[in-house]
Amino acid sequence: MSKRCTRLRFAPLSVCLGLAGIACGSAVQEEAASVQQGAQKPGPGGFPIIRGYFWKASDVLLPEGDPDDVRSVAIQATPSLIAAFGTSDSAGGTVQVRTYSNSTQLWDATAVLPGRYAALSNDVLAVGTPSVDVKLYHAPIFGTHATLTPNVPVASSEFGRSLAMDGPTLVVGAPSYNAEEGRAFIFELVEVPIRFIKRFVWQQTAMLGGSSPAAIAVTPIAESFLGAAVGVSGAVVAVGQTPDAPDANGRMGRVFLFEKQANAWSLVDTVFAHDPNTAQIAANSDVNAQNFGKALVVKGDVLAVRSDRYVQLFSRDTSSGAVHWLFTQSFDVGLSSSSFWDRPLAFDGEELVSGDSFEESYAGRLYPLMGTLAHAIPNVPPNPFIEESPSESGALFGQCLVTAGGWLLVGDRRSHVRVYARTPFY
């Protein structure tokens, strides 16, 4: 498909520049001057950060057809720069693919595929159609490569509602499995010899949750939506669980950490929301800790988890001989009773961005919390670096987002995907 994607241009300084609420103009010049002089500011963990970058509004990607909203966004920076976003419509939805051309600096419309949810890694695109299957496509043609279903399919499980992929490992969430108890499934690209010829095929290698002998058991809780959020990085898989009622210990949301050791997956730790003042596990009565685990990203030895009010970081530690994920830091991103159900989180190992969309005002805000663009101070609500109030009713800017390789994609309920590029000051 050679059709060019419809694109809108923005002036380079038409957005808030992520400088703790500093407006464009002379304040930007002062900030740029301080950067040129090498001025530094303590960042997360006390490390100095030179604030010489800002998120520059680059493009708006408009989908083909007439979809209702954007449900998911995905991006890969290497080996080629590809963006994908899943939309919903009366027919179910489509995942639309854009490939960035370095020569024209345009996002070319590449493919339109059936589905709603997407994940990208190593030129492989995973597309979920909840409760049906997950299909895999290969760049650059994006022909169907494989179709994945659970070994034991269950109707209305929302299999494919959440996806995370890192190289040869794909994690698929099914949050409505078994009366909304939820499950997550790990698929891996494995070598299978067939008549003296080695082939690589995608196979289910683990089911997370449940009590069957084939499953890796976790605490079963009715209506806990296990798998509503999933993440993977190398041999580490993270799965969120957000029950509507507390468990026997009075705890609500949690994140399970699984690792592949000796060629088998096992549960290694469980993390909960922490009180940022005491660094202890937060009490169930702490409304700020509600919905912990509805959004998460794991990269390397760092896990980022969103709750209603906080983004909290955990670090993998093996000093005791066993694997533990220790609470290290908390960011206060505010709490609004009018916030939409989704509270997205984007993290690529360097840049950490949290979002919030507001159902009543239809505005959206994004907060840079860690990385070269960070201006947040732990436990102090930051000013947003981008704040949009689209004119369309119910636009809900920022209801999904993703970042990688210096790019940030932000979706809304009016089928726009806004693209921001990490840009240095000159």
Q: DSSP string of 223-288?
A: T--BTSSEEEETTEEEEEE--SS--TTS---EEEEEEEETTEEEEEEEEE-B-TTT-SBPPTT-GG
Each residue's pLDDT tens digit, 291-348: 899 899 999 999 999 988 889 999 999 999 999 999 999 988 766 544 555 678 999 9
Domain residue spans of the chain: 69-354
Better-predicted residue by pLDDT, 369 or 299:
299
Strands 386-388 and 69-76: unpaired
Give pLDDT, residue 49. 41
Is residue 214 within 8 A of residue 151, CB to CB? The reply is yes
Better-predicted residue by pLDDT, 108 or 285:
108
What letter would DSSP give residue 3?
P
Beta strand ranges found along 12-90 (DSSP E): 41-42, 48-49, 53-61, 69-76, 82-88
CA distance linking residue 352 with residue 304, whole number of Å: 8
Better-predicted residue by pLDDT, 28 or 159:
159
In the block, tokens 């997407």 appear at 118
pLDDT band at residue 38 using 50, 70 and 90 as cut-offs: very low
pLDDT band at residue 41 using 50, 70 and 90 as cut-offs: very low
Closest listed residue to residue 176, CA positions, set 197, 161, 191, 195: 161
Q: What is the pTM of this model?
A: 0.83
Give pLDDT, residue 52. 61
Least confident residue range of 39-48, 147-156, 171-180: 39-48
Domain spanning 69-354, CATH class:
mainly beta
State how far Cα 174 lies from the chain centre. Answer: 16
pLDDT band at residue 260 using 50, 70 and 90 as cut-offs: very high
Each residue's pLDDT tens digit, 102-127: 999 999 999 999 999 999 999 999 99
Enumerate residues 6+ apart whose C-beta is below 8 A from 136: 124, 125, 126, 127, 144, 145, 146, 147, 148, 170, 202
Is residue 242 within 8 A of residue 308, CB to CB? The reply is no
Residue 5 has pLDDT above 70, yes or no: no
Each residue's pLDDT tens digit, 133-166: 999 999 999 988 899 999 988 888 999 999 999 9
